[in-house]
Amino acid sequence: MVGGGRSVLERSPLHRLPDRLLKWGLTGLAAAILALIAYFFIRLIGQSSGTFGLSFIFGNHWAPQINAYRAAAMLVGTLITSTTAMLIGVPIAVATALYLTELCPRRARTPLSLLVDLLAAVPSVVYGLWGVFFLAPKLLPAERWFANTFSFIPWFGGGAGTIAPTNYFIAGLILAIMILPIVSAVSREVLATVPNEHREASLALGATRWEMIRTAVLPEARPGIVGAAMLGLGRALGETIAVVLVIGDAPDIGKHWFDQGYTYASVIANEFGEATGLHRSALFACGLALFVLTLLVNIVARIFVNRSARGKSYGTGDQGAVAAGAVAQMT
């Protein structure tokens, strides 16, 4: 009911106009975002005509001097560096979020959270330069030890031979550091939505602190943590400047984890300024492939998050919303 004893439905069309304007405005903004994505997609297809195709994606021969453009090396480099970043960065980020929400003293929680979040404010070029001049030389002996010790593993250690200072592993490690604040921040928000009653019930039944986290907190927050991880993966797939500096820029598929390579984003950043003709179209095709790869990751992440949320029997509203919002940011 509103003033005068009338319901909202009985109000004049003029009084309901702001509601309609808000609805139309928000609908228009949503449609504009979809139209913008479609425009980017169509534009990339038009600019990459003549080069994009299965032979471009899965062929391995990138030689601009003879107009040979097959970008399998870029696909492999993108997947290797992103996977390395996920394997290293996500467990550390989730562990950091768990410590800050479950174990950290209250007085230290806010300062430590700010310090972790400040990692996101460091420019990517700074990460790249730090990786080139400090991280890569310092880790070179450890990489050699790993390659020699685990030489029986075909790709991780076997056949490593000469190890370049800049390689897949260093690029993945830099990406892991760069995605850590994003994954940690979203995971903290998700863990904070777990009802305290669940923690208290678990402790009341005799569970230890670790058992409480494992049985009451992590299962409840799993959809949101998956969404945070997928958000970090989206960042890792598209990172450019830092990867350009530390991956080695070799247009071939590396023979081992410590070999040099290329990614879609790094080859575009390196060569687009001097590209013309077919070379320029090939770089647009790399952008199109990266765009499609990101969309596929986003779709798979949404499916996984939705299934995880539906699989819970209680309390999925907040976690599902946070997860969906995190995954949506990837597009």
In the chain, what are the domains? 48-328 (1.10.3720.10)
Q: Which residues contact 224 (CB under 8 A, 6 or more apart)?
A: 186, 187, 189, 190, 191, 193, 319, 320, 322, 323, 326
Taking every pair of Cα atoms in the chain, the longest distance, rounded to a whole number of angstroms, is 85
Residue 198 buriedness (CB in 10 A; 0-12 / 13-18 / 19+): middle
User: Which tens digits make up the pLDDT trace of 277-326?
Assistant: 888 888 888 888 898 888 888 888 778 777 766 665 444 444 444 444 44
Judged against a pLDDT cut of 70, whether residue 129 lies above it is answered with yes
By C-alpha distance, which of 167, 163, 186, 164 is closest to 175?
167
Residue 8 buriedness (CB in 10 A; 0-12 / 13-18 / 19+): exposed
Classified as helix, coil or strand, 257 is: coil
Beta bridge partners of 60: 71
Judged against a pLDDT cut of 90, whether residue 171 lies above it is answered with yes
> In this structure, what token pair is assigned to residue 78?
């993108």
- Start-end of H helices in the chain: 13-47, 54-58, 72-98, 106-118, 124-130, 136-149, 168-192, 196-204, 209-212, 218-238, 241-246, 264-271, 277-310, 316-328
> In this structure, what token pair is assigned to residue 310?
């539906």
Classified as helix, coil or strand, 62 is: strand
CA distance 297 to 160: 31
* pLDDT, mean over the chain: 83
CA distance 197 to 90: 27
Q: What percent of the chain has pLDDT over 90?
A: 25
* Whole-number Cα distances in Å, 175 to 103, 119, 210: 27, 12, 29
Radius of gyration in angstroms for the set of CA atoms belonging to the chain, rounded to a whole number: 24
User: Which tens digits make up the pLDDT trace of 244-271?
Assistant: 999 988 888 888 888 888 899 989 988 8
Per-residue pLDDT, 322: 46
Query: 71 phi and psi, to 5 degrees?
Result: -110, 30
Per-residue pLDDT, 6: 55
* Whole-number Cα distances in Å, 240 to 83, 154, 171, 263, 287: 16, 29, 10, 8, 12
Classified as helix, coil or strand, 70 is: strand
User: Which tens digits make up the pLDDT trace of 194-221?
Assistant: 888 888 888 888 888 888 888 888 888 8
* Whole-number Cα distances in Å, 110 to 107, 113, 178, 331: 7, 5, 20, 30
157 DSSP assignment: T
User: Which tens digits make up the pLDDT trace of 100-126?
Assistant: 998 888 888 889 999 998 988 899 999
66 DSSP assignment: G
- Give mean pLDDT, residues 33-62: 84
Per-residue pLDDT, 97: 92
User: Which tens digits make up the pLDDT trace of 182-200?
Assistant: 999 999 988 888 888 888 8
β pairing state of 68-71 and 60-63: antiparallel
